[in-house]
């Protein structure tokens, strides 16, 4: 695995780790009753601490979105190369509907990569409106392939798993970009 890919995955892993809610500030002290005759000790209220923000400052959003989309673009290119192209080049007979579907998926995934590149640039320029449109477009391209696969009436686990993963990343990026847009 290339060093840049390892760093990208590390950044994404850290980003996802930071989005997990924490109960680290639960300082509630409770004293159990020693015997039934012992009076109950009052519970000390937990201190009021400010809720930790997932994205503390807006400069983290471009870094998160860039890291997420760069890794998604790389994984999409790998999926095209390792799954779609191999199925198209396979000597196994494929009916023309499925072959057309694979070609459609390849085309729309390449379009999704282009939209992700544009979104990365938009976020870098802090143009959250355009980034919102471009990430939404990439999500639509992913949907087009899913619709095509569903229409073939064949169970395609590789496509289904990739679709779920890519849409989850796109949805997360879209959420963060939208929040930044409406915050300003």
Classified by CATH at the fold level, domain 60-183 comes out as: Butyryl-CoA Dehydrogenase, subunit A; domain 3 (1.20.140)
Summarised one tens digit per residue, pLDDT across range 131-183 is: 999 999 999 999 999 999 888 888 888 999 999 999 999 999 999 998 888 88
Q: What is the pLDDT along the chain (184 residues), one digit of tens a residue?
A: 566 676 776 667 666 555 655 554 444 444 444 455 555 565 666 556 555 444 444 458 888 899 999 999 999 999 999 999 999 998 888 888 999 999 999 999 999 999 999 999 999 999 999 999 999 999 999 999 999 988 888 888 899 999 999 999 999 999 999 888 888 6
Provide the residue ranges of all domains of the chain, joining segments of one domain with +.
60-183
What's the whole-model pTM score? 0.65
Q: What is the DSSP string of the chain?
A: --HHHHHHHHHHHHHHHHTS---TT---B----SSTTSPPPPPBPPP--PPPPSS-STTHHHHHHHHHHHHHHHHHHHHIIIIIHHHHH-SS---HHHHHHHHHHHHHHHHHHHHHHHHHHHHHTT-HHHHHHHHHHHHHHHHHHHHHHHHTT---HHHHHHHHHHHHHHHHHHHHHHHHHHH-
């Amino acid at each position: 695995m290339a060093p840049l890919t390892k760093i990208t995955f590390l950044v994404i892993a850290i980003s996802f780790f930071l989005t997990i809610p924490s109960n680290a500030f639960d300082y509630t002290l409770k004293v159990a009753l020693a015997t039934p005759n012992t009076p109950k000790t009052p519970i000390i209220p937990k201190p009021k601490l400010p809720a930790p923000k997932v994205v503390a400052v807006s400069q983290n959003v471009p870094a998160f979105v860039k890291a997420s989309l760069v890794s998604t673009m790389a994984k999409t290119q790998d999926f095209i190369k390792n799954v779609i192209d191999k199925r198209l080049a396979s000597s196994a007979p494929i009916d023309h509907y499925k072959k057309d579907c694979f070609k459609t998926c390849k085309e729309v995934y390449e379009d999704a990569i282009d939209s992700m590149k544009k979104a990365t640039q938009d976020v870098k320029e802090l143009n959250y409106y355009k980034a919102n449109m471009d990430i939404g477009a990439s999500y639509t391209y992913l949907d087009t392939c899913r619709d095509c696969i569903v229409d073939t009436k064949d169970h395609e686990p590789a496509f289904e798993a990739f679709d779920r993963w890519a849409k989850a990343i796109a949805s997360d990026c879209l959420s963060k970009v939208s929040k930044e847009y409406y915050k300003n």
